[in-house]
Amino acid sequence: MEDKKVVTRFAPSPTGFMHVGSVRTALFAWLWARKNNGIFILRIEDTDKKREVEGSIEHIMETLRWLGLDYDAGPDKCEPGMCYTQSERLEIYKKYANILIKKGFAYSDVSSLEEIEQFRKKAEEEKRAFLFREHRPENPPEWKEGFPLRFKIKEPKRTVWHDAVRGELTAGPEALDDFILIKSDGYPTYNFAHIVDDIEMGITHVVRGQEFISSTPNYIAVYEALEAPQPTYVTAPPIMGEEGNKKMGKREGAKDVLEYRNEGYLPEAMFNFLALLGWNPGSGDNREVMSREEIVESFDLTHIQKSGAQFNEEKLDWINKEHIKKLSPEQIEKNILEWLPEGMKNSKLVPVVLERISKWGDVKDIAERGKLDLFFETPEIQREKLIFKNSTPEKISENIKIVIQALGNIDENNFTTENVKDALMLVANMGESRGEVLHPVRYALSGSDKSPDPFIIASIIGKNETISRLQKAI
- Region of 146 please: left (phi>0), alpha (psi -120 to 50) or beta: left
Q: Catalytic site residues?
A: 250
Least distance between ligand GLU and beta carbon 37 (Å): 22
Contact flags string 70-109 toward ligand GLU, x per CB under 6 A:
----------------------------------------
Nearer of residues 83 and 386 to ligand GLU, judged by Cβ:
83
Using alpha carbons, list the distances in angstroms from residue 229 to 1, 46, 161. Answer: 19, 25, 13
Which listed residue (6, 7, 11, 221) binds ligand GLU by CB under 6 A? 11
Binding residues: 250
Which listed residue (6, 7, 8, 12) binds ligand GLU by CB under 6 A? 12
- Those residues with Cβ within 8 angstroms of residue 35's Cβ, 6 or more apart along the chain or in another chain: 296, 297, 299, 300
Give Cα 85 to chain centroid, integer Å. Answer: 24
SS3 116: helix
Contacting ligand GLU within 202-241 (CB under 6 A): 208
* Residues 27, 304: Cα–Cα separation, whole Å: 12
Give Cα 15 to chain centroid, integer Å. Answer: 18
Nearer of residues 236 and 276 to ligand GLU, judged by Cβ:
236
Nearer of residues 64 and 445 to ligand GLU, judged by Cβ:
64
Angle made by CA atoms 317, 295, 303, in degrees to the nearest 5 = 100
Least distance between ligand GLU and beta carbon 207 (Å): 7
* Residues 74, 69: Cα–Cα separation, whole Å: 12
Could you tell me how many residues of this chain bind ligand GLU (CB under 6 A)?
7
Instruction: Identify the bridge partners of residue 206 per DSSP, sorted by sequence position.
Output: 233
Which listed residue (45, 109, 268, 436) binds ligand GLU by CB under 6 A? 45
Least distance between ligand GLU and beta carbon 137 (Å): 30
Residue 228 burial by Cβ neighbours in a 10 Å radius (0-12, 13-18, 19+): middle
The answer to whether residue 254 forms part of the interface with ligand GLU (CB under 6 A) is no
Give Cα 96 to chain centroid, integer Å. Answer: 36
Least distance between ligand GLU and beta carbon 139 (Å): 34
Using alpha carbons, list the distances in angstroms from residue 193 to 13, 89, 186, 198. Answer: 12, 9, 12, 8
Specify the stretch interacting with ligand GLU by CB under 6 A; choose among 8-16, 64-72, 413-421, 446-454: 8-16
Specify the stretch interacting with ligand GLU by CB under 6 A; choose among 9-17, 76-84, 215-223, 276-284: 9-17
Angle made by CA atoms 36, 38, 39, in degrees to the nearest 5 = 150
Nearer of residues 197 and 362 to ligand GLU, judged by Cβ:
197
Using alpha carbons, list the distances in angstroms from residue 431 to 410, 435, 469. Answer: 21, 10, 22
In 3D, which of 11, 96, 9 has the Cα closest to residue 47?
11
The answer to whether residue 24 forms part of the interface with ligand GLU (CB under 6 A) is no
Least distance between ligand GLU and beta carbon 77 (Å): 19
Binding residues for ATP: 250
Least distance between ligand GLU and beta carbon 58 (Å): 17
Nearer of residues 11 and 248 to ligand GLU, judged by Cβ:
11
The answer to whether residue 13 forms part of the interface with ligand GLU (CB under 6 A) is yes
Q: Are 267 and 66 in contact (CB under 8 A)?
A: yes
Nearer of residues 191 and 397 to ligand GLU, judged by Cβ:
191
The answer to whether residue 188 forms part of the interface with ligand GLU (CB under 6 A) is no
In 3D, which of 227, 6, 200, 206 has the Cα closest to residue 88?
200
Least distance between ligand GLU and beta carbon 236 (Å): 10
Q: Are 362 and 340 in contact (CB under 8 A)?
A: no
Nearer of residues 22 and 320 to ligand GLU, judged by Cβ:
22
Least distance between ligand GLU and beta carbon 45 (Å): 4
Nearer of residues 254 and 423 to ligand GLU, judged by Cβ:
254
Specify the stretch interacting with ligand GLU by CB under 6 A; choose among 10-18, 382-390, 392-400, 441-449: 10-18
The answer to whether residue 194 forms part of the interface with ligand GLU (CB under 6 A) is yes
What is the sign, positive or negative, of the torsion defined by CA atoms of 119, 123, 128, 134? negative
Using alpha carbons, list the distances in angstroms from residue 328 to 225, 294, 323. Answer: 57, 19, 11
- The values of phi and psi at residue 236, to 5°, are -80, 140
Which residues lie near ligand GLU (CB under 6 A)? 11-13, 45, 190, 194, 208
